[in-house]
Amino acid sequence: MDPHYGAEVVTQKGKIYIFDDVNCLMSFLDSDEVNEQDLKHILITDYDQPESLSDAMMSFYLKSEAFKTPMASNIIAFSDYETLKKYKKEHGGVYLAWGELVTQFK
């Protein structure tokens, strides 16, 4: 697993689900495996700081063909909007907020 693209879901009971890419996370959330009320945290890896996870609903997403993600979503995440703007300027792409990301994968 490339540390730049990971995501995690933590349930209220402490069970952790780990994902390689945003699309795996979205597929899991759209499945019936866990009820939404059973979720404690939905976390995403900050592309610019791969050692840190941030709240997926509060993160900023950039979709660009320039990023070859493990499961071909081409989406990277940032905890900071200014960092996203820097990457967008360098690599192009489209900014997505959490709601847009969820809608895109439905």
- Does residue 87 belong to any structural domain of this protein? yes
- Does residue 1 belong to any structural domain of this protein? no
Number of structural domains, the chain?
1
- Does residue 30 belong to any structural domain of this protein? yes
The mean pLDDT of the chain is 95
How many CB atoms lie under 10 A from the CB of residue 96? Answer: 20
pTM above 0.85, yes or no: yes
Q: Which of 56, 58, 33, 32 is nearest to 43 (CA)?
A: 56
- How distant is the alpha carbon of residue 52 from its chain centre? 12
Phi, psi of 67 (to 5 degrees): -105, 115
pLDDT tens for 63-104 read 999 999 999 999 999 999 999 999 999 999 999 999 999 998
- Does residue 2 belong to any structural domain of this protein? no
The answer on pLDDT for 1 being more than 70 is no
Question: By residue range, what is the domain housing residue 36?
Answer: 7-104
